[in-house]
Amino acid sequence: MEAVLTIENLQVEFETFGGSVQAVRGASFQLFKGETLAIVGESGCGKSVTSNAIMGLIPNPPGTVKAEKIMFKDKDLSTFTKKQFREIQGKDISMIFQDPMTALNPTLTIGEQLTEGLKTHKKISSADVKKKAIEMLNLVGLSNPEDRLKQYPHQFSGGMRQRIVIAIALICEPELLIADEPTTALDVTIQAQILELFAEIQQRTGVSIILITHDLGVVAKIADRIAVMYAGQVIEIGTKRDIFYNPQHPYTQGLLNSVPRLDLMEEELKPIDGTPPDLFAPPPGCAFAARCPKAMIVCNKVEPDTTAINEFHQVSCWLQDPRVKQ
């Protein structure tokens, strides 16, 4: 399969008055053409920071981004300047931000915001710009698109605003789309519609999607592969079947056990005890060791290597390390 994005040893730090926060600590993963990769984990585990680093949106100062490579096709984004990022932002790589109400400018019409990317990146006539804008509003399922272009964000419902943000992200036909919790603020019915829209758009355009969420129900519906993040690291990655039916890391198992199930209504939920580690001073061994019910002495002292379970399933856990199993 053709890799659209390859990240190796991504590290993001933020300098604060209290010291250096290691928000992302050596994250590595690949995204293949036409697939949806879901990145899941608790709040504060580094999901959004990772996506912002890919997009070149980490402010410096206070943030510092380092990586062995961040390859988008044949371009190494880790060497890009702000000017170079501006050339690909919205055109080749696009992003859907968490809250559509704050992502949209309340003083500009939908038409102005929707066509900004086209006017910046494509040399086409005003008539073609308007035609493309109407086409995108049709694609995301908004009725009367010509009239909608003249309206302002406050005249739309939450679900409609989310569709508009998706249209803005897709109007330049990017090859990579990063969706940062795109359904968090929506009710269940609208959420289902947005997920169906993602699947339909991917089928039509072949766009590769990174979906950032902590909702495992959303992941189960549209993801092809899943990367589980904890304390700034990718601790397990595999296909949807691997992660849901054969989770290897105790943290992944804990996440799945924390989700309510209709077939286990009489049983109590099993929360993950404890709290995530302080990223001002991360622990020397496995970051999950202090909360892990299966932790061994080595877990607290040495960081585990990545172990391959199969071709697509990898985990960073001493319990799966062949040296311990021997």
Q: Which CATH superfamily is domain 3-92+174-272+308-314 in?
A: P-loop containing nucleotide triphosphate hydrolases (3.40.50.300)
The C-alpha atoms of residue 236 and residue 243 are separated, in whole angstroms, by 8
Q: Which two tokens stand for residue 270?
A: 């099993």
Instruction: Please report the pLDDT score of residue 210 as a whole number.
Output: 93
Q: Look-up: residue for tokens 């397990």? A: 236
The C-alpha atoms of residue 285 and residue 300 are separated, in whole angstroms, by 5
Instruction: Please report the pLDDT score of residue 44 as a whole number.
Output: 85
Instruction: Please report the pLDDT score of residue 119 as a whole number.
Output: 85
Instruction: Please report the pLDDT score of residue 71 as a whole number.
Output: 92
Candidates 80, 74, 85, 72; CA nearest to 6 is 72
- pLDDT, block means (10 residues), the chain with 326 residues: 90 90 92 92 89 90 90 89 88 83 86 87 84 86 87 87 86 88 75 80 86 85 92 93 93 87 71 88 91 90 91 91 72
- CB count within 10 Å of CB 137 equals 25
Task: Please check whether residue 261 is in contact with residue 217, taking contact to mean a CB–CB distance below 8 angstroms.
Answer: no
Coil, strand or helix: which one is 109?
Answer: coil
Task: Please check whether residue 228 is in contact with residue 196, taking contact to mean a CB–CB distance below 8 angstroms.
Answer: no
Coil, strand or helix: which one is 304?
Answer: coil
Locate the domains of the chain by residue range: 3-92+174-272+308-314, 103-173
Q: What is the DSSP string of 9-56?
A: EEEEEEEETTEEEEEEEEEEEEEETT-EEEEE-STTSSHHHHHHHHHT
